[in-house]
Amino acid sequence: MHAHSTTHRTTSTTSTTTRTLRTLGLGATALVLTAALAACGEQSAPDPESAATSPSSETSEVTSAVVVGDPWVRATKGTEDPSMTGAFMTLDNPGAEPVTLVSASSSVAGTTELHEMAMLDGAMSMQAVDDGIVLEAGRGKVLEPGGFHVMLMGLRDAPAPGDEVDLSLVFSDGSTQDLVVPVKAFTEEEGHYHAPGTGDHDH
Amino acid sequence: MAVPRVSRRGLLGHAGTTGLGALTGAGLVVAVDPGTPVGPPESIPAAPVGTTLAPWGPHQPGVAQAPPAVLEAVALDLRPGVDREALGRLMRLWTGDIEALTAGRPAPGDPAPWLSVPGADLTITVGVGPGALGSDRFGAGPAGFTDVPPMVHDRLEERWGGGDLCVLVAGRDATTVAHAVRRVVADARPFARLRWTQQGAWNGTAPDGSPQTGRNLFGQVDGSANPRPGTELFDRTVWVPEGRWAGGTTLVLRRIRMNLDTWDGLTREEQERSVGRRLADGSPLTGGGESDDVDLAARDEQGRPVVALDAHVRRSHPALHGGRRIFRKGASWTREVPGPRGPRLESGLLFSSYQADLADQFVPLQRSLDELDSLNEWTTAVGSAVFAVLPGFEQGDWLGRSLLA
């Protein structure tokens, strides 16, 4: 498995969290996507001086691909419906233009869609996000249980904890990112996810 | 790379003693007037504490850090059939956990994301034991990597020994450390099961906030003669210089039981004589400050050696071992054990020794101490385990790739 069409870029700011992504299979060359973002309210240290600075102004020279962080896929082995699951991650757009996650695919899934959990008629329901997941300039989204996620359907084998799943993300700027994503057990019942948020977060 | 700690101390202006005074005062008010509502102490200026250490680099960063306030060492045994490919998956999984947790982010899929916080001084260091070596696993170990041969004074218990994998989780507070341990062990479950855990604590910070060597439970300043991280001596002592394991090191973890009751019965002079250092400040009995070298040749007026022939500092001194040395860290522990008349306390030291070549550095030193060391009367090794600490990894890479690929 090879990662392709990824670029290497680094920016630096005064107080940053550098995010990383392993886009490689066993023995493959590491391709690093780094962006020095004070992302997701996850600054390395609470520091009002730098928090007061808009990171977007410091990263505006970057024309960019999205930074993917902390990806994981929920294991379904032994669950009620082992044929579908979600992939979760953080997506950060350090660039000056909005970028949309347009689609995703995986060799383990027959179909892959972008979904969102939302309140519908007073109940949580899951719906496809046909227009993709928009990442505003200088902002990001958290894909998490109860919110936006990549839905893997028609799974050929139920992913078990300790497995790895390939996942390819296609963005509106023409970039593609190929990930190798760990499968993790998740103890909460499906349909009983965390309270939903907007999925938006600031840098 | 450490995010500078308390870089904004200047902003607080009078933060130093005045801040402490305000804190103490607030405590007193609450104590004498139970009617006072206890809420967030908003009037007390907050200062960030702790550092957030990036996990990347040629070496795993936890090794060269000072002994942490809280250390939890975890040993796991690989499940049958876990081969090189599976170890790669585990190492990539752990790499993701380590990158997130040390940055203060929840590990991917973390069911309790609130327990990950930045500024926790958190490091997570991974080593592999003899059982994880071999052609279908991590291959051959670093040069000189061997089990510690039996020592006369050892009273080893299986319960505290061995392990195919070791994870050292070090941090500033026990809650964050416990959470990281839980994540690392839970995520490893498809590959490995828990063998033992050992905890310890260390006070490496003086009351004024400056770093200090710290003391073991005998009261001794412990670690004064360590090579200093960042020096050529440290690098030569600790890091494997070349080959597949370049940038890694080896770790001996010894669980030392300390007989505090008999130790406490000694006079101050007897206690200082057994080590060769003053208890008050850790300085050598031959004079100078804590960091000064001991003068092994010094004699008193009667012509007797100032440092006794069986003193710990003499027996462990590099001069006796052709310059061989180790980088040592301590973590003190105490626990309840059953006694004939009810529970009693057992105390000791979880001792970590880092060296590039275990057989060449640690073993001769330990043999020498086993043969003669005044401290043997009050210390007993009850656990022993050896691990080859993986080289560091760069951002975008993963732990152990060079050994597994």
pLDDT on residue A189: 54
Q: Is A184 on the interface with B (CB under 8 A)?
A: yes
Q: CA-to-CA distance for A130 and A127, rounded, in angstroms?
A: 9
Is B85 near chain A, with CB under 8 Å?
Answer: yes
E strands present in B96-234? 123-128, 165-171, 192-201
Domain ranges of chain A: 63-190
CA–CA separation, A67 vs A19, rounded Å?
7
What are the chain B neighbours of A89 within 8 Å (beta carbons)?
A: 108
Q: For A33-74, what is each residue's pLDDT tens digit?
A: 333 333 333 333 333 333 333 333 333 333 457 999 999 999
Q: Scan residues 132-151 of A and list those with Cβ closer than 8 Å to B.
A: none
For B131-140, the pLDDT digits (tens) are 999 999 999 9
Closest CA to B162 of B11, B385, B393: B385
Which listed residue (B222, B310, B357, B373) is catalytic?
A: B222
Q: What is the tens place of the pLDDT at every residue in B365-383?
A: 999 999 999 999 999 999 9
pLDDT score recorded for residue B9? 29
The answer to whether B361 and B318 have CB atoms below 8 angstroms apart is no
Under DSSP, the state recorded for A164 is E
- Model confidence at B18: pLDDT above 50: no
Contact A171, A163 (CB under 8 A): no
Higher-confidence residue of B390 and B41: namely B390
Closest by Cβ to A160, choosing from B100, B111, B190 = B190
* Residue B104 contacts A where some CB pair is shorter than 8 Å: yes
Mean pLDDT by 10 residues, chain A (203 residues): 35 32 36 32 35 33 72 90 93 94 96 88 82 94 93 94 97 94 78 41 46
User: A34–B186: do the CB atoms touch at under 8 Å?
Assistant: no
Which homologous superfamily does the CATH classification assign to the domain defined by A63-190?
Answer: PCu(A)C copper chaperone (2.60.40.1890)
Q: Which of B103, B131, B107 is nearest to B119 (CA)?
A: B103
Cα gap B58→B77, rounded to integer Å: 26
What are the pLDDT digits (tens) for B67-99?
999 999 999 999 999 999 999 999 999 999 999
Strands (E), B27-146: 70-78, 123-128
The predicted structure's pLDDT at residue A32: 30
Gyration radius of chain B over CA positions: 23
B48: nearest CB among A23, A46, A186? A46
At B26 the pLDDT is: 35
Say whether pLDDT at B22 is over 60: no
Q: Give mean pLDDT, residues B177-205.
A: 98
pLDDT digits (tens, 9 = 90+) for B355-364: 999 999 999 9
Tell me how far apart the alpha carbons of residues B190 and B89 are, in angstroms, rounded to a whole number: 10
Asked if A190 reaches chain B (Cβ–Cβ under 8 Å), the answer is no
Q: Among all chains, which residue has been given the structure tokens 């034991």?
A: B129
Asked whether B237 and B334 are in contact (CB, 8 A), the reply is no
Stronger pLDDT, B20 or A89, i.e. the higher one: A89
Give strand ranges (E) for B121-275: 123-128, 165-171, 192-201, 249-258
Contact residues on chain A for B100, CB-CB shorter than 8 A? 70
Q: CB distance from B90 to chain A under 8 Å?
A: yes
Average of per-residue pLDDT across B148-165: 97
Q: From the CA of A31, how many Å to the nearest CA of chain B?
A: 6
pTM summary value: 0.82
pLDDT at B129 over 50: yes
Length reported for chain A: 203
pLDDT at A22: 46
| Contact indicator for A167, A106 with CB cutoff of 8 Å | yes
What integer is the mean pLDDT of B211-224? Answer: 97
Answer whether B177 touches A (CB < 8 Å).
no
State the average pLDDT over residues B225-254.
Answer: 98
Contacts of A27 in chain B (CB under 8 A): 405
Q: B92: nearest CA in chain A? A: A182
* Cα(B52)–Cα(B142) distance, integer angstroms: 30
Number of Cβ atoms within 10 Å of the Cβ of B1: 12
Q: What CA–CA distance (Å, rounded) separates B199 from B192?
A: 20
Contact between A163 and A183 under an 8 Å Cβ cutoff? The reply is: yes
Which residue in this structure is represented by tokens 């505006």? A60
pLDDT value for A23: 39
Residue contacts between A and B (CB atoms, under 8 Å) = 111
B287-311 per-position pLDDT tens digit: 999 999 999 999 999 999 999 999 9
Q: Across chain B, which distance is largest between two alpha carbons, in Å?
A: 69
Query: What's the average model confidence in pLDDT over B375-400?
Result: 97
CA-closest candidate to residue B234, choices B307, B334, B326, B165: B326
Closest CB to A44: pick one of B93, B118, B187. Answer: B118
Amino acid at B313: V
State the complex-level ipTM: 0.83
B357 is catalytic: no
pLDDT for B298: 96
